[in-house]
């Protein structure tokens, strides 16, 4: 596969995962904004805890979808003989562990490198989002304590 083809395919995959991530974060934010109206402190602490759990599991689900999209792309391109191997490679590459026990063949390696960069960026975005949510929840708790 030519370098231009690899870059074109990878660009499409990155665009798809960024759109999935953006849509997912927007949905999570909309859901989390609804919980703001807890009246009592005890209820607020419980609801905030549930909001943090929702955010954590939601982010994990988003990354899982994005990893599966890359794995499906590898299978579609017939890079790996089965989906399990494609998913294993995709997961280890996306989270930049990259054990090296499963590798892409020459002529398709650019896809893996771009998936790794894509994973770093989206995980960083998720970290910033999660920190922002926790920070907002702390602010809400402080405001409730003040009365």
Q: What is the pTM of this model?
A: 0.86
- Hunting for tokens 């562990």 — which residue is that? 97
Q: What is the pLDDT of residue 6?
A: 94
DSSP-derived letter for residue 9 is H
Q: What is the pLDDT of residue 136?
A: 78
Q: What is the pLDDT of residue 116?
A: 96
Q: What is the pLDDT of residue 121?
A: 96
Do 54 and 31 contact (CB within 8 A), yes or no? yes
Domain boundaries, the chain: 3-146
Residue segments in the chain with a per-residue pLDDT below the cut of 70 = 35-45, 140-141, 144-145, 147
Q: Give the separation between CA 17 and CA 20, rounded to whole angstroms.
A: 5
Q: What is the pLDDT of residue 96?
A: 87
């Amino acid at each position: 596969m030519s370098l231009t083809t690899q870059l074109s395919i990878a660009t499409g995959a990155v665009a798809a995962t960024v759109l999935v991530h953006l849509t997912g974060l927007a949905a999570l934010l909309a859901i989390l904004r609804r919980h703001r109206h807890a009246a009592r402190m005890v209820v607020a602490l419980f609801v905030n805890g549930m909001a943090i759990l929702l955010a954590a599991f939601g982010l994990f689900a988003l990354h899982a979808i994005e990893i599966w999209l890359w794995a499906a792309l590898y299978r579609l391109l017939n890079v790996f003989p089965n989906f399990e191997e494609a998913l294993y490679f995709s997961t280890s590459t996306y989270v930049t562990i990259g054990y090296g026990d499963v590798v892409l063949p020459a002529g398709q390696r650019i896809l893996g490198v771009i998936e790794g960069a894509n994973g770093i960026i989206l995980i960083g975005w998720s970290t910033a989002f999660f920190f922002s949510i926790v920070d907002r929840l702390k602010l809400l708790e402080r405001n409730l304590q003040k009365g």
